[in-house]
Amino acid sequence: MGRNWSKKSGRADTGAAGRSGALLALTLAVGLTGLTACGGNGDGGGDAPSASASTNDRGQQPFKGPDRLGPTPSAVPSVREWKAVRGPGWQRTEHTRVVTGSDSLRDEAKLLADELKVKVAKGPSRTGDIELKRDNGDNGGKKDKKDKKGKSGEPGSGPEGYRLVSRDGKVTITGSDDAGVFYGTRTLLQTHRAQGRFAEGTVRDAPDRPQRGFSLDIARKNFSADWIKDRIREMGDLKLNQLQLHLSDDQAFRVESDTHPEIVSDPHLTKAQIRDIVELAASRHITVIPEIDSPGHLGAVLKAHPELQLRSASGRTPRGAIDISKPAAADLVDDLLVEFAELFPGRYAHAGGDEYQALMTQNPEQTYPGLAQEARKRFGENAKVQDLATAWLNDRAATLRKHGKMPQVWNDGMHRGGVVEPNKPRQVAYWTGREQGERQPAEYLREGWEVVNFNDEYLYYVLGQPNNFTYPTGRRIYEDWTPAVVRGTEPVPKKWAGRDHILGGRFAVWGDLADAQTTEQVARGIRLPLAATAQKLWDPQRPERSWSDFVKLANRVD
């Protein structure tokens, strides 16, 4: 996760109302409004000014009349395919409704209607309306092999793909799954905010990567439930779909626990607050992923259970390290994994595995003879401490799988050449290349592991910037990073760069020096980096917009 390793590199609604299908014949004045600076993120010292809804995302005057092609939709991330046709386009009027005949899309319809300040109806749809539909396979009466048979990640295809048609003063958003329809509503809403209307034409859009997320360390720094909910709303607009919460660390354990209330720190989130967070996230098609990190980063747990603290031959007690030779240690951590498996009902759970202090010495067997002895007892005379650590993480992963979870682990919890091998299935969250016995990303990919990109060179926002970390900038992510750049600045070989091997990535906030920034400063500091990450996970290709144009767009659609 990157706290101890050193790194060398450092609204008011502006939509125009009017009669359905009326031509836009007025010349609207452009007003510029200064915004608060995004302090400390290095993206030019602050957000660029925002323009009124009379301009498109490049600051140009809007199209006029049915004989003109309208501008590209304004959305972050940008749509991947847009085909404009001649026509007046859609704009919200006093008669606009959000229409759906699908029970499963009622929540998406209500959310969009509330945001646009219009009503929800069952239909039939009419001019001026926005209709939300599940794909019935006929693509509006026209067969489309690309939609039906296209691979996930192709524009308009897969469970998160959608098709948005703006035609004859009405918008229809169609997807094979509710998530895709929801993302189509984000594109419509952002374009409405930026342009006041939606041009005539068709969007086909889908994410390149299935995992697109944000990871937040709530153990070392306390973030309120309201702050987290604000980020969820922000993530929803950016079409991000995973929120990882790092619950346990040396400084605190910040979620209510019924099985082990003695480990819980103050302040902390109650289970009721977590359920509210999970519910809000689900409404934005975001999965909340709990991380209970072990066998390191357990200082808050060990404060209540000193009998489980790891001790070296000299009596030293490495911070946060639990004694993995003791059955009671496994029982305690499994209690928590099982308890929170119910609280966080999504598919994934993170088991940690990083920075176990027993493996960060020159000679683990000599420094921790008790662990070495237990390893040989369990796995034979050739076994070492790393084998005991591998078995520990195997057991935690097995516990998660028994409760319906796909385990994810940090890459430095995956060791090569041991008597005990990591078990499957699991996914590897790759963040560092500075662990003992460090391994290149290509090694994991060659062995067939699925990888999630946490590259600490670009995606780590470490409070206080310790150990040569620097606050990441959106510009650097936007211009230089892709999901294939897993470690350092170089991409993995092309044969392993695709979505089948590298599932996506997450931008991460770590609270190493918790008081270095307020939560408000963190929110401002990560805004543009998070938007840039969302753009490159949705579409890794080099963006057409310059960074300055992207910043202007991000300000207009917010």
Query: 34: burial class by Cβ within 10 Å (0-12, 13-18, 19+)?
Result: exposed
Q: Which of 552, 401, 422 is nearest to 474 (CA)?
A: 552
Would you state the pLDDT for residue 300?
Answer: 97
Q: Which pLDDT belongs to residue 438?
A: 81
Nearest C-alpha neighbor of 32 from the set 53, 13, 11:
53
4 pLDDT higher than 50: no
Q: Per-residue b/e over 366-388, b at no fewer than 16 CB within 10 Å?
A: ebbebbbebbbeebeeebbbbbb
pLDDT digits (tens, 9 = 90+) for 208-257: 999 999 999 999 999 999 999 999 999 999 999 999 999 999 999 999 99
Q: Is the pLDDT of residue 86 over 80?
A: yes
Query: CA dihedral defined by 277, 278, 283, 288, rounded to 10 degrees?
Result: 110
What was the pLDDT predicted at 434? Answer: 72
d(CA 245, CA 243): 6
What pLDDT, in 10s, does the model give residues 272-325?
A: 999 999 999 999 999 999 999 999 999 999 999 999 999 999 999 999 999 999
Contact 379, 391 (CB under 8 A): yes
Q: Return the pLDDT at 157.
A: 81
| Per-residue pLDDT band at 33 (split at 50, 70, 90) | very low
Question: What SS3 class is residue 114?
Answer: helix
Could you read off the pLDDT of 361-404 as tens digits, one per residue? Answer: 999 999 999 999 999 999 999 999 999 999 999 999 999 999 99
Q: How far does the chain reach from its first CA to its final CA, in angstroms?
A: 30
Distance, in Å, from the CA atom of 351 to the CA atom of 294, rounded to the nearest integer, reads: 7
Joined tokens for residue 327: 């059955």
Show the CA angle centred on residue 512, arms to residues 508 and 518, nearest 5°: 80
Q: Provide DSSP, 479-492.
A: HH--TT--BTTBPP
> pLDDT tens digits for 508-554?
999 999 999 999 999 999 999 999 999 999 999 999 999 999 999 99
Q: What is the mean pLDDT of residues 173-181?
A: 97
Q: Please state at what angle helix 178-195 crosses helix 225-237, rounded to 10 degrees.
A: 90
Strands 287-294 and 211-217: unpaired
Phi, psi for 195 (deg, rounded to 5)? -115, -15
pLDDT computed for residue 67 by the predictor: 54
CA–CA dist 435, 459 (Å, integer):
18
Q: Provide the pairing of β-strand 170-175 with 201-205.
A: unpaired
Find the range with the poorest average confidence among 118-122, 141-145, 457-461, 530-534: 141-145
- C-alpha 173/C-alpha 320 separation (Å) is 50
- Find the length of the chain: 558
Is the predicted pLDDT of residue 59 greater than 90, yes or no?
no
Q: How far is CA 43 from CA 48, 171, 389, in A?
A: 10, 35, 41
Burial of 321 (0-12, 13-18, 19+ CB in 10 A): buried
Return the pLDDT at 42: 53
Phi-psi region of 64 (alpha: psi -120 to 50; beta: other; left: phi over 0): beta
Can you list the positions of beta strands (E) in 404-518? 406-410, 427-430, 450-453, 460-462, 502-510
pLDDT confidence of residue 149: 35
**What percent of the chain lies above the pLDDT cut of 70?**
84
The pTM is what?
0.88
